[in-house]
Structure 1
């Protein structure tokens, strides 16, 4: 058995959630926040059998697309604010960070 932990951008979470349900997978959704852009993310926890991991990974790849976005960096804490000039920067957002973990035991009470 495997535990798939997928961190996705909030914009992709609805599409991923629907695709997982449509394909018979259940997931737990957790609200999370990214570090660099301090943007909202959703973390999905999907428990599945070993032979279904590739199917879940395909669903994640199809549902979570990366894209470019212009952002203004947040002022660094502790630095001289008057010397910080926030210029918009183009960054890649979206997609998914996915971890596949071995599960030694699973219990449902």
Structure 2
């Protein structure tokens, strides 16, 4: 058994969870915060057999949109630092872990 841990942006979480449910895959949603912009994100936990990992990864790949967001300029900066910049955000950061033991009570 494998545990897929996927960190997605909050605005992509519903699409990810709905797509997983349509495929009959159960998931647990956890609110989390972090990343470069310190914005809210969602950590999705999916426990699956090894042969279903690629299905989960395909769903994550197709539902997490990558987009550009502005980054405010640094305070007190001059020149390059004073100009607003854009960064790519979105998609998913994914970890696939071996599950040593699974129990449901």
Settle same-fold status: TM greater than 0.5. yes
Find the counterpart in structure 2 of residue 96 from structure 1.
Answer: 92
User: 1:43 deviation in Å?
Assistant: 0.3
User: Gaps spanning 5+ residues in structure 2: where?
Assistant: none
Q: In angstroms, what is the RMSD of aligned CA positions?
A: 1.5
Aligned residue runs from structure 1 range 14-93, under 5 A? 14-72=14-72, 83-84=76-77, 87-93=83-89
Deviations 1:57-102 (CA, angstroms, capped at 9, x unpaired): 00110100211111215x6xxxxx6x34653211000000000000
User: What is the TM-score normalised by the length of structure 1?
Assistant: 0.86
Find the counterpart in structure 1 of residue 5 from structure 2.
Answer: 5
User: What is the TM-score normalised by the length of structure 2?
Assistant: 0.89
- Are positions 1:105 and 2:101 aligned together? yes
Give the secondary-structure state (helix, strand or coil) at the position aligned to 2:58: helix
Find the counterpart in structure 2 of residue 78 from structure 1.
Answer: none
Q: Distance in 2 between matches of 1:22 and 1:95?
A: 20
Q: Distance in 2 between matches of 1:34 and 1:101?
A: 21
